[in-house]
Amino acid sequence: MVEQKTPAQLAVMREAGRVVATALATVKKEAAVGVSLLELDAVAREVLRDAGAVSLFDGYQPGFAATPFSGVICTSVNDAVLHGLPSDLRLSDGDLLNVDCGASIDGWCADSAISFCVGTPRAEDLELIATTEEALAAGIAAAVEGNRIGDIGAAISRVQQRAGVGTNLDFGGHGVGRRMHEEPHLPNGGRPGRGLKLRAGHVFAIEPWFWSGPGSAYVIDDDGWTLRSADRTRGAHAEHTVAVTAEGPQILTRL
């Protein structure tokens, strides 16, 4: 059973979403050449603390992880694209940084991610980010009553295939509510008209992530978390928490 949230519950999730959006915007503003990933994590941690929000990431340990996550944001650099563990790595000119953040208020969750360039951007990185954001917009546009989960994944996949970039379906979007990861799994691919029928009150984290290369293979660092492209091509990640409503998709994780 996939829970349908009430308008009151969506309003609290929207509060959590604003906090997450503020944390991401603040991290992007503070990210600069020479700044460490741990320093950026401290920036986000302060935003969550000041808002009275609880991190969804700090201490999180799913089945695939040997150790709990130690940070309030994922910081994935260049060929890393997901679950990057904050470290003392200092950013360099031209780095491509993906930042993911999740928080809850009064037990209701929101989750979002952005990608951006540090210092002097590479044209190919800007193109990859634009493609990923286009895929996110396409997935959101498909999150309407009467559609199905497969319609969201298919919309994302069409953008990915047209651009000729790579991804992997092991990790993707998911339901969000009282927990960060709820049913259903929402892969970044699928067949239109298949899967769960979307109804008002359903809430999903929609999150395309792509590599500039065409491959799908990945490796995980010794930290047990940071996921990288096997061919070392650079990656981008974009995510919003989105509610299905009678008026259309409602993005909960924007300022």
pLDDT band at residue 21 using 50, 70 and 90 as cut-offs: very high
What is the rounded CA–CA span in Å between residue 175 and residue 181?
6
Q: What is the pLDDT of residues 69-123, one digit of tens each?
A: 999 999 999 999 999 999 999 999 999 999 999 999 999 999 999 999 999 999 9
Pairing status of strand 108-117 against strand 96-105: antiparallel
Q: CA–CA separation, 5 vs 202, rounded Å? A: 6
Q: What pLDDT, on a 0 to 100 scale, did the predictor assign at position 63?
A: 86
Residue 17 has pLDDT above 90, yes or no: yes
- pLDDT at residue 184, rounded to an integer: 96
| Residue in the block written with tokens 């096997």 | 230
> What is the average pLDDT across 43-52?
98
Range 79-111 burial, b when 16+ CB lie within 10 A, else e: bbbbbbbbbeeebeeebbbbbbbbbbbeebbbb
Report the C-alpha gap between 192 and 202 in whole angstroms.
18
pLDDT score for 88: 97
- The C-alpha angle with vertex 67 and arms to 62 and 73, in degrees rounded to 5, equals 75
Count other C-beta atoms under 10 Å from residue 255's C-beta.
Answer: 9
Quote the CA–CA distance of 154 and 127 in Å, as a whole number.
21
pLDDT value of residue 242? 98
Q: How far apart are CA 176 and CA 5, in angstroms?
A: 10
Q: Alpha carbon 227 to chain centroid distance?
A: 14
Give me the chain's average pLDDT, please: 97
149 neighbors 184 (Cβ within 8 angstroms): yes
What's the rounded mean pLDDT across residues 199-207?
Answer: 98
- 53-82: per-residue pLDDT in tens? 999 999 999 888 889 999 999 999 999 999
Give the confidence band of 2 by pLDDT, cuts at 50, 70, 90.
Answer: very high
For the four alpha carbons of 124, 225, 251 and 156, in that order, the dihedral sign comes to positive
pLDDT at residue 64, as a whole number: 85
The model's pLDDT over 208-241, given as tens digits with 9 standing for 90+, comes to 999 999 989 999 999 999 999 999 999 999 999 9
Q: Are the C-beta atoms of residues 109 and 15 closer than 8 Å to each other?
A: no
Please spell the DSSP secondary structure of 66-133, one letter per residue: SS---SSEEEEETTEEE-PPP-SPBP-TT-EEEEEEEEEETTEEEEEEEEEE-SS--HHHHHHHHHHH
Ramachandran category for residue 46: left, alpha or beta (phi over 0 → left; psi -120 to 50 → alpha): alpha
Structure confidence at residue 66 (pLDDT): 87
CB atoms within 10 A of CB 150: 20
Mean per-residue pLDDT for 15-25?
Answer: 98
Q: Say how many C-beta atoms besides its own lie within 10 A of residue 33's C-beta.
A: 13
Q: Which two tokens stand for residue 203?
A: 């809430």
Supply the DSSP symbol for 4: P
Predicted pLDDT at 1: 81
Give the pLDDT score at 54.
98
